[in-house]
Amino acid sequence: MRNLRRLALLPAAMLVLAACQNTGAGSTSQSASASTSSSAEASESQAADVKPCESEGIDGLLAQVCAAGKIVVSTDPAYPPQSFLNEETGEYEGFDIDVAAAIAERLGVEVEFTDPTFDAVVAGNWSGRWDMSVGSVTVTEERSQVLDFTQPYYFTPAQFAVLEDSSYQSVDELAGKVICAGESTTYVFWVEGTLTLGEGAPEPAPVPEGMTATTFPTDIDCAESWRGGRTDFEAWLTALPTAQDAIDSGNYAIRLLGDPVFYEPLAVAFDKAAEDNDSLLAAVDQIVGEMHEDGTLTELSEKWYEGLDYSTEQ
């Protein structure tokens, strides 16, 4: 039977499959230099220095990344304005994206993005699927057991939002109520009383008594749930810039409630289970420090957060 003989073509089909590796997979390479060329002073001061990938005697994960010529960065492109897909082109855009591209450029490699769910990122054990996370991950003691963090690259306030026509005037009134937050986020940990921010972070506000949280895979789904007419929860806790962006979109009848309940330091994360990540961690940590000093992070923050500088602690 001829059809059976066609089975012999299977290996050929396998090759086709291998060739398709990069078609449509969550990995879009883009030139790292594109989004950072705007900071002219930064690149001038950088030009004198030797990029980590061009220096001698590098080892561990850094050497692997340099040899590959690219660094695979995880991000969740459903978090405007930190990380999102352009609604017309489908390209990655946002603050985190620009920061990741700047880090890659200063390392001397290309950047490639991949987009696992947020809970997969903070669970650690990435199996080498990606090298680092520039996904607005908050440094917490719990996460520090599975992830290695650089110094924070920016700080955001955690902010409550409620329906515009609700009667709530302060966070305390949410005692005994159900609120909504993204899965595995610090917002849920805060409600559950398990949030332990890294050293030096300001003390979080006390949690109103009896408050419980319901979760969705990502923060925006909370607002969308309200928009659809669901009222399973009374308030939404998320990053202030994300809540502000949702309000500014004009698609949701919501308003901010009270002061931020805590300020979170957000850092670049690495998988503790990865072998020899010290070299890469040290190199990226140094780059983040330089980006603070030369004003690159301030500039990028002002670009994406309506002129606000979130790169320093409030």
CA angle 245, 97, 293 (to 5 degrees): 100
Q: Which is nearer to other proteins, 31 or 86 (CB)?
A: 86
In a 3-state reduction of DSSP, which class is residue 5?
helix
Residue type, 247: I
User: How many other C-beta atoms can be found within 10 angstroms of the C-beta atom of residue 195?
Assistant: 23
CB of 219 to other proteins, least distance (A): 9
The site for other proteins (CB under 8 A) is made up of 1, 3-4, 7, 10, 13, 16-18, 20-21, 23-27, 77-80, 84-90, 114-117, 120, 127-129, 218, 220-221, 223-224, 227-228, 245-246, 249, 251-252
CB of 57 to other proteins, least distance (A): 28
Rounded Cα gap, residues 34 and 51, in angstroms: 17
Residue keyed to tokens 């920061």: 99
Q: Which two tokens stand for residue 116?
A: 């696992």
CB of 253 to other proteins, least distance (A): 10
Q: Which two tokens stand for residue 74?
A: 């995880």
CB of 295 to other proteins, least distance (A): 28
CB of 254 to other proteins, least distance (A): 11
Q: Which is nearer to other proteins, 92 or 155 (CB)?
A: 92
Q: Which two tokens stand for residue 312?
A: 């320093």
Q: Which is nearer to other proteins, 117 or 196 (CB)?
A: 117
Rounded Cα gap, residues 256 and 103, in angstroms: 33
Strands 83-85 and 92-93, bridge-based pairing: antiparallel
Q: Which is nearer to other proteins, 181 or 288 (CB)?
A: 181
Q: Which is nearer to other proteins, 243 or 261 (CB)?
A: 243
